[in-house]
């Protein structure tokens, strides 16, 4: 459990990076969903999209956790997935960037 202090400017930066990644990932899911729905040609492909939506929603809910105790690990995961660039977080203090870098080593 991390308990680092976040300055106002760090909070603002974190919020921007987080929101941008979430918005982008949701836009990707929406596009993929619409494409799958358009391609569905039978009922079982339609019901499969129910599971698709449930899985995506749960994945988003578990991945995007804005608690400050979790945020650096969330960022590490988003960097690993190529959703954000590590440089976007260069405005964070070195101790926070070090936590992200250590998390990326696993």
The closest of 98, 97, 25, 10 to 61, measured between CA atoms, is 25
User: Which range, of 12-20, 29-37, 81-89, 94-102, touches its own copies by CB under 8 A?
Assistant: 29-37
Helical residues (DSSP H) of 40-67, grouped into ranges? 43-63
Integer CA distances (angstroms), 3 to 6, 21, 68, 80, in order? 9, 23, 8, 23
Question: Which of 49, 93, 98, 104 contacts its own copies by CB under 8 A?
Answer: 49
Question: Which of 1, 8, 38, 87 contacts its own copies by CB under 8 A?
Answer: 38
Residues within the interface to its own copies (CB under 8 A):
26-27, 29-30, 33-34, 37-38, 40, 42-43, 46-47, 49-50, 53-54, 57
């Amino acid at each position: 459990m991390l308990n680092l202090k976040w300055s106002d400017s760090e909070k603002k930066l974190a919020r921007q990076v987080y929101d941008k990644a979430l918005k982008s990932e949701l836009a990707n899911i929406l596009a993929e969903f619409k494409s799958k729905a358009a391609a569905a040609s039978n009922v079982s492909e339609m019901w499969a999209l129910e599971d698709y939506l449930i899985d995506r929603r749960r994945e988003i809910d578990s991945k995007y956790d804005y608690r400050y105790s979790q945020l650096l690990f969330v960022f590490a995961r988003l960097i690993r997935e190529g959703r954000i660039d590590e440089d976007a977080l260069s405005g964070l203090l070195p101790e926070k960037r070090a936590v992200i870098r250590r998390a990326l080593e696993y």
